[in-house]
């Protein structure tokens, strides 16, 4: 998916006058509007942390995911936890296929919780653009800003966001991943925030806050939830909660997370492969607004008896 946008420097703006400048600005505004996600429109935005395997045919992890093209939001190119050290032909082809599917393709870049030098981050972004033509950047290891140790790094992310937009334009996506909800000051540091990245059990726990009140002042298209350890018994509850928690970008997997002493290498990685076929199918149904019908189908297939209630007027209501 490609939209044409013209980025003008200050000197170039000085050379455009009157109607010509207005036409450029109007064209840019239309391009940005077409490229943005509409609030309330659900998207499957998977964590695609697997190798470029476009050549693997039916066993391709990327291929399995990219078939969901009409529901895809973002996908991520994660090449050795960054952009890699040189252009790679396999990743170039994988990026091309991902863009052809209609997904917005993001380049993975670590920020080390605000401690990584800005110049290194900007260079990796440039690598992703030069080598793979990405549509945006996925800034991992972002702070949430809640505690005193993290608050001083909020300006780092605001400055980084402003610099990226100034260099690459409004149409270039900036996604921050704190993995949890954030203070309101972090909302302006990204176009989209990944504000949940934990288990289904915690997601469904009533005592675990997922969406602070200040998030509801912003479009639901600004928030992304990732939930692992999803089962056939709890997937409906997880999807219903996602719909209520003000997040249009969702990714559910039935793979598990088990930590290890090295936070970069978990003992069991929920992103080692796509989720099972049944869960991918259910997510596609959820994105298309068909969850209620799927619930009825599940009830019939599992042999659950319908609930019958007497309406008191000679009729009865049957609930599947």
pLDDT digits (tens, 9 = 90+) for 184-241: 999 999 999 999 999 999 999 999 899 999 999 999 999 999 999 999 999 999 999 9
Do 95 and 11 share a structural domain? no
Given a cut of 70, is residue 56 above it in pLDDT?
Answer: yes
Q: Report whether pLDDT(307) > 70.
A: no
How much is the pLDDT for 281?
Answer: 93
Please enumerate in sequence order all residues whose Cβ is within 8 A of that of 61, keeping only pairs 6 or more positions apart, or say none.
Answer: 48, 50, 53, 273, 274
Is there a domain that residue 267 lies in?
Answer: yes
Q: Are residues 12 and 59 in the same domain?
A: no
Q: Do residue 167 and residue 254 come from a single domain?
A: yes
Same domain flag for 20 and 130: no
In a domain, 187, yes or no: yes
What pLDDT is recorded for position 302? 67
Query: Domain for residue 303, yes or no?
Result: no
Query: Is residue 298 assigned to a domain?
Result: no
Element holding 214 (H helix, E strand) = none
Q: Are residues 66 and 26 in the same domain?
A: no
Same domain, 153 and 244: yes
| 9 and 112 belong to one structural domain | no
Residues 76, 201 share a domain: yes
CATH assignment at residue 171? 3.20.20.80
Residues 12, 150 within the same domain: no
Closest CA to 54 of 69, 68, 43, 64: 64
The pLDDT of residue 23 is above 60: no
CB 126 within 8 A of CB 195: no
With respect to residue 296, please indicate whether it lies within any of the assigned structural domains: no
Cβ neighbours for 101, distance < 8 A, ≥ 6 positions apart? 66, 69, 72
Angle between helix 118-132 and helix 154-168 axes, rounded to 10 deg: 40
Please give the tally of structural domains in the chain: 2
User: 87-146: per-residue pLDDT in tens?
Assistant: 999 999 999 999 999 999 999 999 999 999 999 999 999 999 999 999 999 999 999 999
Of the pLDDT bands very low, low, confident and very high (cuts 50, 70, 90), residue 4 is very low
Contact 193, 182 (CB under 8 A): yes
d(C-alpha 48, C-alpha 284), whole Å: 16
Output the six-digit token pair for 162: 């402003």
Does residue 44 carry a pLDDT above 50?
A: yes
Q: pTM for this one? A: 0.83
* Domain enclosing residue 122, as ranges: 40-289
Looking at residue 152, the DSSP 8-state letter turns out to be G
Residue 284 lies inside a defined structural domain of this protein: yes
Element (H, E) at 193: strand 192-199
**At 290, is the pLDDT very low, low, confident or very high (cuts 50, 70, 90)?**
confident
Residue 314 lies in a domain: no
Residue 98 covered by a domain: yes
- Do 77 and 3 share a structural domain? no
Same domain, 210 and 77: yes
Same domain, 11 and 76: no
Q: What is the pLDDT of residues 59-81, one digit of tens each?
A: 999 999 999 878 999 999 999 99
Q: The dihedral of CA 218, 220, 223, 228: what is its sign? A: positive
**Cβ proximity of 239 and 269 under 8 Å:** no
């Amino acid at each position: 998916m490609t939209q044409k946008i013209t980025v003008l420097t200050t000197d170039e703006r000085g050379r455009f006058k009157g109607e010509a400048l207005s036409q450029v600005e109007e064209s840019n505004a239309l391009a940005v509007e077409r490229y943005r996600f509409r609030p309330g429109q659900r998207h499957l935005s998977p964590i695609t942390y697997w190798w470029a395997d476009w050549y693997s045919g039916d066993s391709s992890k990327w291929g399995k995911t990219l078939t969901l093209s009409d529901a895809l939001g973002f996908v991520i190119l994660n090449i050795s936890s960054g952009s890699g050290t040189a252009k790679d032909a396999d990743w170039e082809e994988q990026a091309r296929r991902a863009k052809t599917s209609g997904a917005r393709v993001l380049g993975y870049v670590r920020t080390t919780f605000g401690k990584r030098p800005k110049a290194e981050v900007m260079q990796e972004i440039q690598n992703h653009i030069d080598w793979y033509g990405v549509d945006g950047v996925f800034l991992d290891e972002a702070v949430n800003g809640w505690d005193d140790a993290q608050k001083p790094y909020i300006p780092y992310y605001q400055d980084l966001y402003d610099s990226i937009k100034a260099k690459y334009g409004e149409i270039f996506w900036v996604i921050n991943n704190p993995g949890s909800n954030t203070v309101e000051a972090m909302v302006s540091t990204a176009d989209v925030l990944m504000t949940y990245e934990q288990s289904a059990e915690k997601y469904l726990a009533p005592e675990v806050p997922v969406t602070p009140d200040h998030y509801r002042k912003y479009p639901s298209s600004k928030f992304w939830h990732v939930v692992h350890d999803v089962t056939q018994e709890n997937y409906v509850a997880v999807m219903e909660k996602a719909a209520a928690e003000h997040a249009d970008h969702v990714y559910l997997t039935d793979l598990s997370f088990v930590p290890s002493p090295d936070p970069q290498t978990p003992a069991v990685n929920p992103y080692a492969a796509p989720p099972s076929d049944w869960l991918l199918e259910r997510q596609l149904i959820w994105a298309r607004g068909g969850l209620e019908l799927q619930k009825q189908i599940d009830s019939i297939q599992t042999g659950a008896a319908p609930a019958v209630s007497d309406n008191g007027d000679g009729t009865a209501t049957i609930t599947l």
